[in-house]
Structure 1
Amino acid sequence: MTAQESPATQPGPLQGSLDHGRYCAELLAETERFRAALRGADLTAIVPTCPDWTLAELARHVGGAHRWAGELVATRATEVIAWADVPGAGGPEGSTPEALDVWLAEGAERTVAALCEAGADAAVWSWATDHTAGFWARRMAHETVVHRADAALTTGAAYEVPPELAADCIDEWLQLCALPEAAARWTERADGVFGPGRTIHLHATDAPADLHAEWILDLTGDRLAHRRAHEKAAVALRGPLTELLLALFRRRSVEDAGIEVLGDRSVFDRWLEYASFE
């Protein structure tokens, strides 16, 4: 979602499983991993998972998003701020890879400083149902997780997400997809997605047992309901946690991810076609 999208009117948190300090730390760590994936790469290369962007444009998107969120938090914004009004959000003054790398690092550091100064509960505008600084700490951490995958899949860099962060990233995605605003926005795509017996089970096979990294996507109503659970479903996907994340975000196919599919594959395929904020 972008700065131009309409704010939600309903208050209420999107519950995360990590604390504010952890999200801030992960935002810094994921930005460093993102930067590492870009170093030495051809920044004019097209990003296969975001084919409208080059690597340089992907980096400018990530760094701009960081600065935009940081500006919202730092100013305790009560309404949307346009990207064009955020200092430095358009990219670095220089055009070299080194300038881009420094710009990415500085943007993440400034945003984390604003988030830490504000605290999780500070009131801040957002496009979702949670209007707090905590929402932005979580959102920017996961935004960077997913776009780091785009960079890694382009450059061939290694890609692995810490288990607690990966599981929370999946939680957040499902929470966002379950918002009434998402259902309203995606009405025209809903044919064949919802109905009796339409359920999906995601099972991470490599996650620590105490993480309970299994999810049920219940599509039997008129919009998504979800929960962490081990239950029989119309289709089950079993594989490593990071690979499940990549498949759910449409960054890697089930086949390329080496995910085992049991049951009616079409239920999951229709969900992937439906659930996209692009």
Structure 2
Amino acid sequence: MTRLSYERYCAEIGNQSDLLVTGIREADLTATVPSCPGWNVGQLVRHLGGGHRWVEEIVRTRATGPLPDDDFRDLSGYRDEDPVKLGSWLVEGAGQLAGTLRAAGPDADTGWTPVPGETSTFWARRFAHETLIHRADAVLALGAEFTVAHEVAVDALDEWMELGSLPQMFDFYPERRELLGPGRTLHLHATDTLPESGAEWLVDLTGDRLAWRRAHEKAAVAVRGPVTELLLVVYGRRSVDDAAVEVLGDRALLDFWLGHNSFG
């Protein structure tokens, strides 16, 4: 299993932001975002751009704790945005973040990270995929088609699995212990990727922790489909019924897992 390079993560922060700006250029930014209840598209973009600037300051200043984030959590003041001005603002912040990450390098101790002991690579990867998924939120809200390079989608699914299975997730979300039980395994199989990409995931809930691995194995339930569809389903951006996927086996287990393991 190979991650994307550090430079690719930095590049994707800008690339995904540029694609998002293209998608909203002539759009009605007051359109609601079903996957982010309470927000319209303009507020979603404000949230993302605020996140870029928040992380840029953390990395640049080597902050020892999380910085205040109210400015991109309370979005009540951003209900009617101008697409051109908002797009320029988003691209500016994405460029600043990518530039600061490049200057730091992949192994820099950037101070505080949500997962203790991580380096600047954590932030580069996290915000490459944060930007990707929020682009999906906006694109889908506007009724447009969402596409992404296969290797980026595969890495985003890997990151989702890695973060979602951290032991401390039980501290943050005690209800996730309900996922564990005998016979509870799920298999995700991307049908449109090259064989060498190994784009198959086995989620194992049979032990005392949430576990996963890249593997082609039988499971209680299997989900097969294009990797972009798997990405949207796992991230809760598209329902199983609306996605171009095939479900084989225990559908109730799949729904239970998706309902208890949201992220991003």
- Provide the TM-score with structure 1 as the length reference: 0.88
Change (3 A) 1:264 1:151: same
**Distance (whole Å) between structure 1 residues aligned to residue 70 and residue 47 of structure 2:** 13
1:186 aligns with 2:173: yes
C-alpha deviation, 1:41, in angstroms: 1.0
Name the residue aligned to 2:153.
Answer: 166
- Superposed counterparts of 1:110-129, under 5 Å: 110-124=96-110, 125-129=112-116
1:37-90, Cα deviation, whole Å (9 max, x unpaired): 21111111111111210111100011011111111111122221112589xx99
Bigger shift: 124-133 or 66-75? 124-133
One-letter code of the match for 2:122? Answer: F
**Distance (whole Å) between structure 1 residues aligned to residue 29 and residue 203 of structure 2:** 37
Corresponding pairs, count: 260
1:103 aligns with 2:89: yes
* Residue of 24, 36, 55 corresponding to 1:50: 36
Name the residue aligned to 1:3.
Answer: none
* Residue of 115, 120, 124 corresponding to 1:133: 120
One-letter code of the match for 1:112? Answer: A
Name the residue aligned to 1:21.
Answer: 7
1:143-170, Cα deviation, whole Å (9 max, x unpaired): 0111111111111222111111101100
One-letter code of the match for 1:73? Answer: V
> Unaligned regions of 5+ residues in structure 1, if any?
1-14
1:231 aligns with 2:233: no
One-letter code of the match for 2:87? Answer: D
Name the residue aligned to 1:153.
Answer: 140
Bigger shift: 214-223 or 232-241? 214-223
Change (3 A) 1:164 1:186: same
- Superposed counterparts of 1:209-228, under 5 Å: 209-228=195-214
One-letter code of the match for 1:56? Answer: G
Q: Which runs of 4+ in 1 moved over 6 A?
A: 89-92
**Distance (whole Å) between structure 2 residues aligned to residue 252 and residue 97 of structure 1:** 25
**Distance (whole Å) between structure 1 residues aligned to residue 62 and residue 167 of structure 2:** 25
C-alpha deviation, 1:96, in angstroms: 2.4
Name the residue aligned to 2:23.
Answer: 37
* Residue of 193, 200, 213 corresponding to 1:207: 193
**Distance (whole Å) between structure 2 residues aligned to residue 225 and residue 51 of structure 1:** 29
Name the residue aligned to 1:5.
Answer: none
* Residue of 196, 199, 204 corresponding to 2:182: 196
C-alpha deviation, 1:188, in angstroms: 2.6
Question: Is contact 2:29–2:41 with CA below 8 Å preserved after alignment?
Answer: yes
One-letter code of the match for 2:34? Answer: P
1:97-132, Cα deviation, whole Å (9 max, x unpaired): 221111000000000000000001111211113431
C-alpha deviation, 1:189, in angstroms: 4.5
**Distance (whole Å) between structure 1 residues aligned to residue 189 and residue 125 of structure 2:** 23
Question: Is contact 1:16–1:171 with CA below 8 Å preserved after alignment?
Answer: no
Change (3 A) 1:48 1:236: same
> Unaligned regions of 5+ residues in structure 2, if any?
none
CA RMSD of aligned residues (A): 2.2
- Provide the TM-score with structure 2 as the length reference: 0.93
Structure 2 residue matching 1:129: 3-state secondary structure: coil
**Distance (whole Å) between structure 1 residues aligned to residue 14 and residue 203 of structure 2:** 31
Identity, in percent, stands at 51
* Residue of 62, 74, 93 corresponding to 1:76: 62
Question: Is contact 1:43–1:54 with CA below 8 Å preserved after alignment?
Answer: yes
C-alpha deviation, 1:209, in angstroms: 1.1
Structure 2 residue matching 1:127: 3-state secondary structure: coil
* Residue of 116, 120, 131 corresponding to 1:144: 131
Change (3 A) 1:136 1:90: farther
Question: Is contact 2:187–2:219 with CA below 8 Å preserved after alignment?
Answer: yes
